[in-house]
Amino acid sequence: MDNLFLIRYGEIGIKGNNRYKFEDKLIENIEESLKELGAKPIVYKTFGRIFVETDLATEDVLKKLGDVFGIVGICPAQKAALDVENIKEEALKLVEEELEATAKEPLLFRITTNRSNKSFTLDTMELNRELGAYLLENTPDGALGVDLEDFDLELTAEIRDQQAYIYSQDKQGLGGLPVGTSDKAGLMLSGGIDSPVAGWLAMKRGVEITPIYFHTPPFTSERAKEKVIDLAEQLARYQPELKLHVVNFTAVQTAINEHCHADLITLVMRRQMIKIAQRITKNRGGKALVSGESIAQVASQTLDSLQVTNQIAELPILRPLIAFDKEEIINKAREIGTYKLSTKPAQDCCTVFVPDTPETHPEMEQITASEENLEVEELITEAIENAEIIEL
């Protein structure tokens, strides 16, 4: 294996006696991620660090691992023996590569030493001085300059129990927790901007999501379905396995339109979607639903509206965007690569059936009266049994 990567994690490090479970899941997700490139990496851990050895190109590994939740930093590294002279030599090789790759002169640098091995010959400050002096003495005059604050290059030496590691690149990871460490949840996925972002944020907290999309042909076109599949594929970058459930909601939607008060249609529809989504989620071993709702963004997201939709739920409904404004949601959608997909023109069932004067402050008595003649249990069962499952 030609290339070595030192993987730093953050929150996992404070997990106490359960820490190994998070580390092992992160290793599993790293292996799955790199397997997509046709590689069989060697992935192992020491205290506080995970290492990846692979023949894959550095840029390919950085790009792929940049989508793995739980990673804080990805550092292409060189091994060095626990010997000051060997560490100096490896550090010089990295600096010479940096000097060759950049035309800037002087290249301002600083040394950072992390010494978990307290029995090593030099302490942190001593090794910093030794390395800094050695690099200045063994590079052309004027090529390097020292600046501890405004530097171009940070050379890091990690002194661990069995080995030292030297690196100058530390690509920021997504952080969070490895997907799969916080159980499963169903994601109510539409073709809009909000729900993919909510799903991404849930995954960042270690939740494995099952996206559930409600399709209403002929009221919504195949283009709307294809758009949601594209969004689910984008989310699949961040989760080792993702199964999109496409539920034909037309019969249920038609019954709602025929039997329910027009101003309450959106809320009744939302309640029936929750009923279907939680059954699918339970069948998948899930313990919650994830929704892209934000307080007062639309009529169905006032506190009164959320209250009446909540009352039909048997599972907790997680709303990661509850306090986000629209601009914040859009910015996050751009960051995770879903915004352009979400803004492609295509109607979903929520936009097709929006009433002219939706109720913004519903009471449960209104909803109960409106649903009194709504007999959709058989239709719901049929919709769940016939849901299309698309593996991504």
129: which 2 tokens? 């001085």
For residue 103, what pLDDT is reported?
Answer: 81
Three-point CA angle 49, 51, 53, nearest 5°: 175
For residue 359, what pLDDT is reported?
Answer: 82
Q: Mean of the per-residue pLDDT values for the chain? A: 94
For residue 347, what pLDDT is reported?
Answer: 65
Q: Quick check: 271 and 309 in contact, CB under 8 A?
A: yes
Residue 4 phi, psi dihedral angles, 5° rounding: -120, 135
For residue 324, what pLDDT is reported?
Answer: 96
Residue 350 in this model has a pLDDT that exceeds 60: no
- 189 known member of a binding site: yes
Q: Report the share of the chain in percent with pLDDT over 70.
A: 98
Residue 50 in this model has a pLDDT that exceeds 90: yes
Question: Taking Cα atoms as reference points, which of 361, 358, 355, 262 lies closest to residue 302?
Answer: 361
Q: Report the share of the chain in percent with pLDDT over 90.
A: 85
> What mean pLDDT is predicted for residues 137-159?
95
Residues 196-230: pLDDT tens digits? 999 999 999 999 999 999 999 998 889 999 999 99
* CA gap 248, 215 in Å, rounded: 5
CA pseudo-torsion sign 35, 41, 47, 49: negative
For residue 298, what pLDDT is reported?
Answer: 87
- 184-391 CATH choice from 3.30.930.10, 3.40.50.620, 1.10.8.640, 3.30.2310.20: 3.40.50.620
Q: Quick check: 224 and 347 in contact, CB under 8 A?
A: yes
Residues 320-329: pLDDT tens digits? 999 999 999 9
Domain 3-171: CATH architecture, name and number where available? 2-Layer Sandwich (3.30)
> What mean pLDDT is predicted for residues 273-287?
97
Helix H or strand E segment including 98: helix 84-101
Q: In the chain, which ranges are E strands?
A: 3-9, 42-46, 49-54, 71-80, 107-115, 144-146, 153-159, 164-167, 171-172, 184-188, 208-215, 243-248, 289-290, 317-318, 388-391
- 292 known member of a binding site: yes
For residue 354, what pLDDT is reported?
Answer: 67
pTM: 0.92
Residue 340 in this model has a pLDDT that exceeds 90: yes
> What mean pLDDT is predicted for residues 43-50?
95
Residues 178-199: pLDDT tens digits? 999 999 999 999 999 999 999 9
Residues linked to residue 112 through DSSP beta bridges, in sequence order: 156
Question: What DSSP assignment string belongs to 102-139?
Answer: ---SSEEEEEEEEE--TTSSS-HHHHHHHHHHHHHHTS
57: which 2 tokens? 């190109």
- 279 known member of a binding site: no
Neighbour count for residue 150 (Cβ, 10 Å): 7
Q: In 191-298, which ranges are E strands?
A: 208-215, 243-248, 289-290
241: which 2 tokens? 């396995």
Q: Which residues make up the CATH 3.30.2130.30 domain(s) of the chain?
A: 3-171
Phi-psi category of 381—alpha, beta or left, where left has phi over 0 and alpha has psi -120 to 50? alpha
* CA gap 25, 330 in Å, rounded: 30
User: ω before 106 within 30° of 0 (cis)?
Assistant: yes
Q: Which residues make up the CATH 3.40.50.620 domain(s) of the chain?
A: 184-391
Q: Quick check: 317 and 310 in contact, CB under 8 A?
A: yes
Alpha helices in 119-221 (DSSP H): 124-137, 194-204
Residue 290 in this model has a pLDDT that exceeds 80: yes
How far are the Cα atoms of 36, 45, 57, 103, 186 from residue 271, in angstroms, in the given order?
39, 46, 49, 62, 15
> What mean pLDDT is predicted for residues 111-129?
95
Which one-letter amino acid corresponds to residue 376?
V
User: Would you call 368 exposed, middle or buried from its count of C-beta atoms within 10 A (0-12, 13-18, 19+)?
Assistant: exposed
How far are the Cα atoms of 108, 219, 277 from residue 229, in angstroms, in the given order?
47, 18, 17
For residue 1, what pLDDT is reported?
Answer: 63
- 203 known member of a binding site: no
> What mean pLDDT is predicted for residues 98-116?
92
- 238 known member of a binding site: no
Q: Which residues contact 170 (CB under 8 A, 6 or more apart)?
A: 8, 73, 74, 75, 154, 156
Question: Taking Cα atoms as reference points, which of 66, 38, 45, 47 lies closest to residue 169?
Answer: 66
Residues 22-39: pLDDT tens digits? 999 999 999 999 998 887
- 270 known member of a binding site: yes
For residue 349, what pLDDT is reported?
Answer: 55
- 223 known member of a binding site: no
The pLDDT-based confidence of 58 (bands split at 50, 70, 90) is very high
> What mean pLDDT is predicted for residues 301-309?
91
